[in-house]
Amino acid sequence: MSAAVLSKRRARLAQLDGKLRELFPDTHIALNHSSSWELLVAVMLSAQCTDKKVNEVTEQLFKKYTTLDEYCNVSQEDLEKDIHQTGFFRNKAKNVRMTAQRVRDVYGGLVPCVMEDLLTLPGVARKTANIVLGTVCGKVEGIAVDTHVKRFAIRFDLTDNTTPEKIEQDLMQVVPQKDWYDITYRIIEYGRQIAPARKYDTSTDPLVALYPPAGKVFRV
């Protein structure tokens, strides 16, 4: 993007995020977990599924499977039944089992805290890797772009792209690095509580008041 466009987007983002901080001063990841492995599983299951439903499923899943070996040894069919409610359960079950085996056999049973290593795990892309790194590894190397963040970036003209990877690169130029981790969760709360993907009354949206063109876009 040009220097002029970048400057405008940075100024717009600063204004929008200022309002987000007022609206949601205490945000955090909504996926329940008690270990880095459980977080990794929960994020993998969250694809095309609400965090609420994932938490309902993992409440039982994490009680049933308490060791990495149990995830490695469970049958595809059994794991599919356990995670069925999260959707896309066949592919998710396959990826969780393969990832468990790779974490055990390649990384000594520990979820790696290196972006390049995380991206070698089946079913793990940059969104999942960014969440794991920021939440349990204390590393912030990018911005987790989920459906809420994608919709936000496009609506408020913070990107010229539509794929998560390219949107992330655009946002990393617009968002101050110190805010890369936390802003994702402010945007998620905005999407949940104020600006859903479906059509809604944008006249009550405080961010649309700051950037009126966003009121014309309901779905991306």
Selection from 155, 144, 139 nearest residue 194 by Cα? 155
Q: Is the CB of residue 61 less than 8 Å from the CB of residue 83? A: yes
d(CA 118, CA 166): 19
Of the chain, the end-to-end C-alpha distance in Å amounts to 21
Tokens of 67: 């060791």
d(CA 53, CA 181): 23
194: left (phi over 0), alpha (psi -120 to 50) or beta: alpha
DSSP letters along 56-89, please? Answer: HHHHHHHHH--SHHHHHHS-HHHHHHHHGGGSSH
d(CA 51, CA 154): 22
Q: Is 205 a catalytic residue?
A: no
Identify the active-site residue in 51, 82, 127, 170.
127
Written as one letter, the residue type at 113 is C
Q: Is the CB of residue 154 less than 8 Å from the CB of residue 162? A: yes
Identify the active-site residue in 17, 82, 146, 182.
146
Q: Is 51 a catalytic residue?
A: no
What residues are labeled active site?
A: 127, 146
